[in-house]
Amino acid sequence: MCLLFFSYRTTPGYRLVVAANRDEFLSRPTAPLDYLDKNKIVLAGRDLQGGGTWLGITAQLKFAAITNYREPAANRADAPSRGEILKNYLSGELDAGQYMSSLAANGDKYNGFNLILGDRKNLYYYSNRSVGPQLLAPGFYGLSNHLLDVPWPKVVRGKELLRPLMVETTRIDPFQLFGALKDRQPPPDEQLPDTKVGLDWERLLSTIFIDGADYGTRSSAVITVTEEGCVKFIEETMLRSPSKGITSQLVRHSMND
């Protein structure tokens, strides 16, 4: 996943509200949102190539999301899949703090990542390109492919568009969030970060919704968790075809704590 916005205990009536885009190569095999286990405990996106996930939640309110840290020159082809980090947490017995501490002890074996983990009590952030795990205070956060709340143009614009819909409201409308996640306004070149991928790629990756020939936004997701523990997870998968352009399909699931 490449872009994540979340309101943690700042939206009246909600513990957590999440709006996210998964950007990926169009050729990478992916399955629609579904349960990862036969007992229907772990609900998550499904990466059929790496075997893991980028975003998921459980019936026990364990939450996990990951974005890659963009540093192409430092990536190792033999590094383990970052998607397994989430899958192991969501299906395991450790709480968020315990799992974060264990992961931080050997986080350098993975390519760069940003990780958000939560449970019934707490929400944590950790990047293996920064300091150790951080306990997050209630707030409204944005995360792309640098560290948490680093003001890349798409993070700044996304927070401007989503704050009224995610924080300054008493009713979450998922379809308004999906609309904001389709924003394609590009920033001026002088505001682009330099992540050593070249100007053409920086421009392509700079918008909230990405629509490239070989790389783009594959899906969007909205998750809400109420104070009573009711979970709703909606995934919108983008379908691309030469004749119809981009269409989409929705998958919805609900769980109660």
DSSP 24-82: EETTS-EEEEEESSTTS-EEEEEETTTS--SEEEETT--EEEEEE---GGG--TTSPPT
The Cα–Cα gap between 112 and 114 comes to: 7
- In terms of pLDDT, which residue wins out, 172 or 241? 172
Mean pLDDT of 243-253: 92
Q: What is residue 244's predicted lDDT score, i.e. its pLDDT?
A: 87
For residue 1, pLDDT over 90 is answered with: no
Query: Domain residue spans in the chain?
Result: 3-256
The domain defined by 3-256 folds into Penicillin V Acylase; Chain A (3.60.60)
Cβ(141)–Cβ(129) below 8 Å = no
Dist. CA 195–CA 207, nearest whole Å = 15
119: left (phi over 0), alpha (psi -120 to 50) or beta: beta
The answer, yes or no, to whether residue 242 has pLDDT greater than 90, is no
Residue 257 has pLDDT above 80, yes or no: no
Q: 76-79 contacts: CB < 8 A, separation 24 or more?
A: 76/111, 79/109, 79/110, 79/111
Give per-residue pLDDT as tens, 172-228.
Answer: 999 999 999 999 999 999 999 999 999 999 999 999 999 999 999 999 999 999 999
Tokens at residue 219, please?
A: 């899906």
Q: Reduced to 3 states, what is the DSSP secondary structure of residue 247? A: strand
Q: Which of 138, 121, 126, 162 is nearest to 5 (CA)?
A: 162
pLDDT at 142: 98
pLDDT digits (tens, 9 = 90+) for 37-75: 989 999 999 999 998 999 999 999 999 999 999 999 999
What type of residue sits at position 1? M
Q: Which two tokens stand for residue 230?
A: 């009711």
Among residues of the chain, what percentage have pLDDT more than 90?
95
